[in-house]
Chains A and B, each alone.
Chain A
Amino acid sequence: MWEYTDKVLDHFRNPRNVGVIPDADGVGEVGSMACGDALKLTFKLGPDGRIVDAKFQTFGCASAIASSSALTEMIKGKTLEEAEKITNKDIAEYLGGLPEQKMHCSVMGREALEAAIANYRGGSSGKKMLQGKVVCKCFGVTEDEIERTVRENNLTTVEQVTHYTKAGGGCGRCKDDIQRILDRVREQLAAADRKPAQERPARRLTIVEKIRLIEETMDREIRPMLRKDGGDIELVDVQGDSVMVSFRGMCAKCQAAQFTMKDVVEAKLREFVSPAIVVTEVKP
């Protein structure tokens, strides 16, 4: 048997928010029966622009059902801007982790959410559209998806890419292509690491660039430290140089959180994003 966490088993045995919202604002569908798992996600927005309801239907194994159930719980109460920041890692972490061979279940959740948000915004069909070159023909996985998953999860081997995206898990003929994508992305990641913040272009960041840079910095520099102590942090808002965050898990209750806030979070964001950043905590 797989080593599922109690939380995975709980969401599998007692899935939350099963069904379809009839007059949904957004509908996202990914996967297929041929692929072995599929997820249909629907959500409804409230007058305040926050997701008031979310429901799912899933065909798949225990961890696919649990990941879908977790996703609906995670997005309720969030604005679309907040919801779209959820990564597959967040879904896996919400469940206390997934076996590596099952990480593709969390990726399926993230993809369904994206498809549903795109459906709401652009009136797209809600079906996941393949963008870019298809690398794995057995499971219909594109180069863009592989690249993104490698970046978000810091993957290093073809086997990991297969566990996370299914690419290469059928006939296996695309494994060389996956290796080439991996080599390219790893090289880019290494180059980015070598370049310190001071050498970044001096031009003003757009707000989107700034948010992205803050997220990246939190992911790379801050979260791993907090998670060692069972905590986490979430970006709530950015206005100019004022960054609002909220602590999660152990950090939310921790007496030393104020210290962490100034000495870790603010220091790191000043180092990697902008020296003018001021961080404040908002209670969740």
Chain B
Amino acid sequence: MRNVYLDNNATTQVAPEVVEAMLPFFHDRWGNPSSMHAFGGSVAGHVREAREKTAALIGADPSEIVFTSCGTESDNTAIHSAVQTAQHPIRIVTSRVEHPAVLAPCRRLRERGYAVIEIGVDSQGRLDIDALKREIAGGKCFVTIMWANNETGVIFPIREIAEAVKAAGGIIHTDAVQAVGKVPVDVRDTPVDMLSFSGHKLHAPKGIGVLYIRKGTPFTPLLLGGHQENNRRAGTENVPYIVGLGKACELAARDMQEGVSARMARLRDRLEEGLLRSCPDSRVNGDRRMRLPNTSNISFEYIEGEAILYHLSDVGIAASSGSACTSGSLEPSHVIRAMGVPFTAAHGSIRFSLSRYTTDDDIEYTLVQLPPIVRKLRALSPFVKE
């Protein structure tokens, strides 16, 4: 059976070049880079090289890169640090559509008495910028807003937001897990203080993340117990994964040069337009003009997402859904709800997310397979009038 993987916002295939770059650090060069002998010490050079490649992808200085275990750790570290280093109890401003790695720590802080403001989005998933700017202007605050949304792909105007936060003397972190590697992210023209991203969303393995910390930003670590990462993240360096991430960042930078994003966007648009044409009563969730090039979130009205995913899986297609049933909760995803997607469509949202490995044939195959599935489920649905 064909395998068509259209769930790259969940995780990506590890690039073969990345695997190859990592292998020597399992087989032969497994030393500890902090050791005072050449066997370990020589590994440090490779970590440094990886740090340079990682920094280069986002226009940072290598000293501003802290390797972590995942995007979630980066987000938690940034929030922890911003709160701990504040001179006084600080207001926290975030959005209702953040990833749980940001929302959950913010909500815990709210339980502990912090003022936490969650900015809403409109029906297109666009941030309420006016409300956000009012909060920013209302006194020093810590802002944590994602660069791009994982479910809809909608991109937020982080540069504009960061400039407003800095003008007001606040601190800003952005969860750029879905943006880095797909759209240009450059901390030289976007004055964020901290930025998180994750290896496994850009063809490195799971288990490696990055926290960018701009020089001069007050910082205190989350993990204690070692001098590693210049005293910013304790724990022996995960050398093979750091090297793999360096390679993945190098490949992502090359992709940017070679216009891979534009190619993904063309394939995504073909998929999206083809599905909207062949499946009546379907709609795109999210602002189509300001969106990641690889993401499409489509609601098929009157049917339910999990049922669509299981039928897709039966023909070898992997995607994901914001429906209640797929999350194990009983309500549709918080992003879909925050957008006020009508309930006829909320449970039938499917996210397709492409990668550099997605082919024309993959899209063609999906365009052939999906419409009959939608018809089959609608034939079962009590809400479809014949």
Chain A residues near B (Cβ < 8 Å): 1, 9, 12-13, 15, 18, 29, 33-34, 36-40, 57-65, 101-102, 104, 138-139, 162, 166, 169-170
Contacts and interface: CB of A to CB of B under 8 A. Distances in A.
Contact of A36 (B328, B330, B379, B383): B330
A58 B325 contact: no
B303 interface: yes
Contacts of A101: 328
Nearest to B305: A61
Interface of B: 302-307, 310-311, 313-314, 323-326, 328-332, 343-344, 347, 379-383
Contacts of A33: 302, 343-344, 347, 383
Given A34-B343, A36-B324, A169 B382 contact: no
Contacts, number: 76
Given A61-B325, A101-B328, A170-B331, A38 B306 contact: no
Given A12-B310, A61-B306, A38 B330 contact: no
A39 B383 CA distance: 10
Nearest to B329: A169
A176 B331 CA distance: 20
Contacts of B310: 1, 9, 12, 62
Interface residue SS majority, chain A: mixed
Please give me the 6 A-B residue pairs with the lowest Cβ-Cβ distance, nearest first.
A169-B330, A61-B325, A61-B306, A57-B382, A40-B382, A34-B343
B343 A61 contact: no
B4 to A, nearest CB: 17
B104 to A, nearest CB: 15
Nearest to A4: B310
A40 B384 CA distance: 12
Nearest to A58: B380
Nearest to A19: B379
Contacts of A36: 304, 323-325, 330-332, 347
Contacts of A138: 331
Given A29-B382, A169-B330, A59 B303 contact: yes
> Which of A33, A40, A101, A166 has most B Cβ within 10 Å?
A33
A139 B330 contact: yes
Contacts of B323: 36, 61
Nearest to B328: A101
Contact of A58 (B314, B331, B381): B381
Given A58-B382, A102-B325, 15 more contacts: A9-B310, A36-B325, A36-B330, A59-B381, A60-B307, A60-B325, A61-B305, A61-B326, A64-B304, A64-B307, A64-B325, A65-B380, A104-B330, A169-B329, A170-B330
